[in-house]
Structure 1
């Protein structure tokens, strides 16, 4: 059967579970890539060209047991609903639509309370909007600090809901980040900001690049390890 970009196929794992695989074409990919979409609970097979989607399908089929095992061990989905406990800057925070006024506000406590007054039906959207705003502010401060340390300039900063990477740097100096970093401990966000600032000097991952990162965040290895171990949890929160 022929598949196209954006289409899915369903595979049966040895344990009897069914695994959904979605196909994506990315001209920047240098090889076939298989990754997980934590929020959709499916695998993504990435091919460099449309002609290689057939190869991507075979690649996924060969690894269906691995996909099934990884999906079964994903963290539970966390919704931004009333009374839900989410993570904010690495600390637990309870969501509520109750509160005075119209603006979202963070209240101290154990856990902290994120009050987002308004229609309960749109609560998840408004929580996401608040988190994106805080992420943009924290990342902007971090980028300004690290770019000053490295003596580089950036052309702009944006926050997105990326699924395959936490940050990126374009050749013209524009930096993009996942807004979900606001849910991680601040040092982790600092590491990702430093990582992308270092790319303004080195568009690679050479020893020189990591030396630049270390100038900004000396314990970057620890922060990278945290993100690798807990990144799926960040991706499993919200929509």
Structure 2
């Protein structure tokens, strides 16, 4: 169960969401939506507020850092819009022509044709679907060889790489050696794509996020910490709707 709450920290009125769970300790999460506090059922509100006061400096500094971040950009799927692509951008051009929705790539331009009779949400979904298919198709060609190279360096078998739509995860590694990647990764710089590919390949050796796992990631990418932080900073700058 979640509930909204408020506390005063160093002359600041801070709103937060209180989430009760089965965890044993009080936890704090700060993101674009603000502060979330997760606490055991048995912990009193007084204890929670005491923990918040103890962490007040950290909480206020993190909230301030989030406030300074660029606003999240939501794609509208209209002509002239710039789409993220491997650290750069592609210009979207939409033309009402024909019945079928088609997509053609010309350098740094993506031309999408859409039914002239389509409008509103139907038109938006048609364009978004065409772009998603393009990103997925290109992602399979771009990311699968990278994962295979990392797996080979670890001398581990890789069953296959699947690029698909994943709303909440950038990648995952199944017990059978199948690695799944989010097509939205194609909007990030190549080095961050490589970081996610290396991260998932490391799971072929270590299934969890133990110290041994991060040591394996370091074998593939010694500066992985820098890339992880950059990924966290940029992960929610775009929303594809």
| Fold conserved between structures, TM > 0.5 | yes
Where 1:229 maps in the other structure, the secondary structure is helix
Match of 2:29 in 1: 35
CA-atom RMSD, angstroms? 3.9
In structure 2, relative to structure 1, the CA distance for the partners of 1:147 and 1:96 (3 Å cut) is same
* Residue 124 (structure 2) pairs with residue 121 (structure 1): yes
Q: TM-score, normalised by structure 2?
A: 0.67
* Residue 173 (structure 2) pairs with residue 169 (structure 1): yes
The structure number with the bigger radius of gyration is 2
Match of 1:97 in 2: 94
Structure possessing the higher relative contact order (Cα contacts under 8 Å, 6 or more residues apart): 1
8 A contact 1:199–1:209 mirrored in 2: no
8 A contact 2:83–2:89 mirrored in 1: yes
Equivalenced residue count is 220
Where 2:4 maps in the other structure, the secondary structure is strand
For structure 1, the residue ranges without an aligned partner over 5 or more in a row are none
8 A contact 1:104–1:114 mirrored in 2: yes
In structure 2, relative to structure 1, the CA distance for the partners of 1:105 and 1:191 (3 Å cut) is same
Displacement of 1:138 = 3.0
In structure 2, relative to structure 1, the CA distance for the partners of 1:196 and 1:72 (3 Å cut) is same
Residue correspondence of structure 1 range 1-239 to structure 2 within 5 A: 4=1, 7-11=2-6, 19-21=15-17, 23=19, 32-38=26-32, 41-46=33-38, 58=49, 63=56, 65-66=60-61, 68-81=63-76, 82=78, 83-98=80-95, 102-108=101-107, 112-118=108-114, 119=118, 120-122=123-125, 123-124=127-128, 126-155=130-159, 157=162, 159=164, 160-162=166-168, 166-203=170-207, 204-206=209-211, 210=215, 212-217=216-221, 220-221=222-223, 224-229=225-230, 231-238=232-239, 239=241
- Whose strand fraction is larger, Structure 1's or Structure 2's? 2
Displacement of 1:154 = 3.8
Displacement of 1:34 = 3.0
Q: TM-score, normalised by structure 1?
A: 0.67
For structure 2, the residue ranges without an aligned partner over 5 or more in a row are none
